[in-house]
Structure 1
Amino acid sequence: MQFESLDVWQRSADLACEIYLHFKLSKEFGLKDQITRSALSISSNIAEGFERKTPKDYARFLSYSKGSCGELRSQIYIAVKIGEIEAEQADKWLAEAREISCMLSGLMKSIESW
């Protein structure tokens, strides 16, 4: 098995691409940098953890990914308030980030039983 076959990695990578493309032309450089970095961090930490040698390391990196989901949601709320994201788009991304976070929790629990 490879990390690319994990649904949670695929969905988080897709979310990162959507967010990156949305903010590609944004002039709000601070928000653009932070929101794209947190979105990219979710799938990146899943991949890095998967490639580690121990289940404990893997779970730690999944925890980082889960933290990045929370960070991303916070930034989405702020982006709506300043007019960088429409509410309908934000709701879609927030729901996806919540689902990814739940998937990460489930994966972390399954690793504990290894």
Structure 2
Amino acid sequence: MEDRVYQSFEDLMIWKESMRFSVEIYQLFKDSRDFGFIDQIQRASVSVPSNIAEGFERQTDKEFVQFLFIAKGSNGELRTQLYLAIELKYIDKKIGIEMIERARKISSMIQNLIKVRREKG
């Protein structure tokens, strides 16, 4: 759980993990020709670390929690798109399931951070 004081969002484990995951999403779909789908899944993946960073920079726990909920929502959108990618055979099912599980882990990390920040606020 991320309950100690951090100097910047770059120090947050959840931000680092969601950034790595976003990069992997970009790499996974870089050769796809379904540009509408690619745009949507990339936007969702980028939204997670972006909202964590933006919320952190707001400097109040209440605002930070709001942005964490937005990040969590984007993560749910991303998982949905991964399910779709599996169904459309854009990615191998095994890889897709592994990515969905990682996204679930990130969602759980976000939820834990929300809990910590709510208790502080």
Question: Which TM bucket (shorter chain)?
Answer: over 0.9
Residue 21 of structure 1 deviates from its aligned partner by 1.3
Residue of structure 1 in register with 2:71 after alignment: 65
Q: Which blocks of at least 5 consecutive residues in structure 1 are unaligned? A: none
User: How does 1:1-114 map onto structure 2 within 5 Å?
Assistant: 1-114=7-120
Residue 84 of structure 1 deviates from its aligned partner by 0.7
Corresponding letter in the other structure for 1:53 = Q
Larger RCO, structure (CA 8 Å, separation 6 or more)? 2
TM-score, normalised on structure 2? 0.91
Q: Which blocks of at least 5 consecutive residues in structure 2 are unaligned? A: 1-6
- Across the aligned residues of Structure 1 and Structure 2, the Cα RMSD in angstroms comes to 0.8
TM-score, normalised on structure 1? 0.96
User: Identity of paired residues, percent?
Assistant: 43
Which consecutive aligned stretches of 4+ in structure 1 deviate over 3 angstroms post-superposition?
none
Corresponding letter in the other structure for 2:24 = E
Q: Please give the secondary structure, in 2, of the residue aligned with 1:61.
A: helix
Residue 25 of structure 1 deviates from its aligned partner by 2.1
**Residue-pair matches, total:** 114
